[in-house]
Structure 1
Amino acid sequence: MGQRSSKRLNGLFLLTIIIGFGCFLFSHVSMQKALKAERRGTLGMLVEQADLPEAQVMAAANQKITQQDAQKGAELEARYGLTTRTQRQQKITQRYFIWNLVIGGGGTILLSAFFIWNQSENRKQVRKIVAEMEQKQSEKATSELLLQRVRNEGNELKSSVTDIAHQLRTPVASLKMSMDIALSDKYSDQERSEFGHQAEIQIHKLNLMLDGLIKLSQLETDLIRLQPQPTSLKAVITDAVNSLIMKAIEKEIEIEVETFEDRLILIDQKWTLEAISNVLENAVKYSPAGTTIQLRISTLVTYVLLEILDQGPGIPSQEQTKIYQRFYRGANSEAVEGSGVGLYLTRSIIEGQGGAIMVKNLKPHGSNFQLTLPLA
């Protein structure tokens, strides 16, 4: 497209030059004809009016003009005047001078216009080429990023499958052993009862793990659709605390909620309760017995800030951006049961409603999870 446009502009430029040259040539030929006609008319008048022999007149006209002839002519012109012929010649030359000036000026303007147009078209073509190159570079970068993301997700998937298999292997093996003992006649009734209870515990762990995986699958395949509605903040906080109060009592952990003014927040109540409960459950899991978990609520301009502070070991700074990844288990998680799905679900739910989540370490120890929820 650019080459065709450039050839078209070059053709127009050449055509303009040819037309201008033709006009100049036509003007020159016309002026020569006019001067020739004026000269012939003058010779005819000399023959007829001055009654001079034709041969003598033509011989004088063809004779080379000398300096003496020019001087004599100037004296005669000054003495008698020769204005009529001079005016005719001047009119002819002036007329064709103006014509040539118009042609030259018009041609110059036209050529300048073509030149400016050509430069403008060239700049457009350059900008277009640059834009296409930038677009190709952007598409290339995007493709490389997507390819890298696919590779990373593939690696994460392989690692996740390995982690899930590892996490399932332990409770499944424990469940198998407990069931074998509980169903065996080689052990006493009390031992069989104890291992039956252990089997129930392992089944509960598997249920929790599978429940988390099902929720994760539903969220990532858009089977779960968040439907935010105006909801009482106090009702959500109360439900979240009540869902964890028994686990906290078992570890002699106190959950303390600071007094706050109830506000309406724009959330999906069910899944926001799931998100807050996940953070609270982690606080209970990682906090030592006999400590206190605090909930603080602050009202900002368009958001509510919920802070959950515990007295656990805290989260190393290098892990604070990784804890929201699927199946990620930090260095302090080895002694605590879990699947590494809770915080990933929490971030997806909170951010899916226009909120945010972050964590800060407390001094000398502990974590402060901060969740923002939009006001209704």
Structure 2
Amino acid sequence: MRIQIGAKKTMERLDEMLESAMDGTFEEERYDETELSRLESRWKQYFTSTRHALEETRRERENMKALVSDISHQTRTPLSNILLYGELLEEKASDGEERELARQIMGQTRKLEFLIQALVKMSRLESGVLEIFPEGQNLLPLLQDVAAAFGPKAREKGIELDVRFPRGEVFCRYDRKWTAEALGNIVDNAIKYAPAGSRVGVSAREFEFYVCVQVKDQGPGIPEEERARIFGRFCRGKGMQQEDGIGIGLYLAREILERQDGYIKVSSREGEGSCFGVYLPRAEENLSKV
């Protein structure tokens, strides 16, 4: 009987220790040579070191956030000035060769600006600085954002961007700003690698638990051996080295989607184009009003 009572008290104390550890108020109560006292002492050491580690992680996140913001801020003005001077050089150039050199300066500066912005976004994602807040909302505004952002680029290259809007309301959970970034990266790639005169289609399909936004192109396709790694950092296909880009657009898209319980898939055949599927969790209409 005494053993049962003792075991019950021990379990009650262990339960108290767990509860207090979970809410951050754990304190060692026993200072004798019993097994429970030694256990309390070890737990105290463990939770103290854990709190210190969490605090250090928080400080590192704050430092990384400040560093990334500083890099973004400090590079913005010099790059803008270089672009401005490039435009002035182009206007004042006396012959075609000088104008071409000015255009090259401006083109390379824009690539550098894009690279810095992409690296800043990647750093924010990997350090946990970038916060994504998915909410239940209609899919239509997201598709409208993509059509407005990439329609002009597609027309400039002679490509038909065919965005099929749903006939009715389709609700899913997503962060509009960052999901537009993810989907935009995929559409941008499709336009970049598709030949002039071809078509890029964007449409939505509803499943039981997800809504899938499909992006189909008529580009060169992706070799089978490359499909497993195209969502990695700085990954570019062997046949795409001559195209502009640094190979992190699909990586960012995957990271953004995973942070809101979505995912991305690709199917492709060489010479027949590719189809990327962006899957977003379905939501009821009333979730958009919470």
Match of 1:235 in 2: 141
Which has the larger displacement, 230-239 or 307-316?
A: 230-239
2:119 counterpart letter in structure 1: L
Q: Deviations over 1:156-197 (max 9, x none)?
A: xxxxxxxxxxxxxxxx9xx9xx97xx59x9x73443333222
Report what 1:303 is aligned to.
Answer: 210
One-letter amino acid of the counterpart of residue 256, structure 1: D
Q: What TM-score results when the alignment is normalised by the length of structure 2?
A: 0.64
Deviation (angstroms), 1:208: 0.9
Correspondence list, 1:337-356, <5 A:
337-356=244-263
Alignment of 1:127-206 (within 5 A): 182=89, 188-206=94-112
Matched, 1:209 2:109: no
Q: How many angstroms apart in 2 are the aligned matches of 1:204 and 1:262?
A: 38
**Misfit runs of 4+, over 2 Å:** 187-195
Deviation, structure 1 residue 204 = 1.0
Decide which of 223, 226, 249 is 2:155's aligned counterpart: 249
Is 2:188 the counterpart of 1:281? Answer: yes
Q: Is the 8 A contact 1:254 1:290 kept in 2?
A: yes
Tell me, in whole angstroms, the C-alpha distance in 2 between the residues paired with 1:330 and 1:192: 34
Provide the rounded CA distance (Å) in 2 between the counterparts of 1:338 and 1:223: 24
Percent pairwise identity: 36
Aligned to 1:327: 234
Matched AA of 2:122:
L
CA distance in 2, matches of 1:291, 1:308: 14
Give 2:201's match in structure 1, choosing from 277, 294, 299.
294
Q: Which has the higher contact order (CA 8 A, sep 6+)?
A: 2
Taking the aligned partners of 1:276 and 1:303, their CA distance within structure 2 comes to: 16
1:267 aligned to which of 149, 174, 184: 174
Structure 1 or 2: more helix by fraction: 1
Shift of 1:246: 1.4
Closer, same or farther: CA 357–222 of 1 in aligned 2, 3 Å: same
Offset, 1:198: 2.4
**CA contact under 8 A between 1:362 and 1:368: conserved in structure 2?**
no
- Residue 43 of structure 2 corresponds to which residue in structure 1? none
Contact 1:283 1:293 in 2 (8 A): yes
- Give the greater-gyration-radius structure (CA): 1
CA distance in 2, matches of 1:262, 1:357: 22
| Match of residue 277 from structure 2 | 370
Q: CA deviation at 1:240?
A: 1.2
Residues 319 and 363 (structure 1), Cα distance of their counterparts in 2 relative to 1, 3 Å cut: closer
TM-score, normalised by the number of residues in structure 1: 0.50
CA distance in 1, matches of 2:184, 2:100: 31
What is aligned with 2:11?
none
- Once the 2 structures are TM-superposed, how far is the Cα of residue 232 of structure 1 from its aligned partner? 2.0
Distance 1:363 1:313, change over 3 A: closer
In structure 2, the residue matched to 1:220 is 126
1:258 aligns with 2:170: no
Q: CA deviation at 1:203?
A: 1.1
SS in 2 for 1:348: helix
Q: Structure 1: where are the runs of 5+ without partners?
A: 1-171
Partners of 1:254 and 1:279 lie apart in 2 by: 16
Residue-pair matches, total? 199
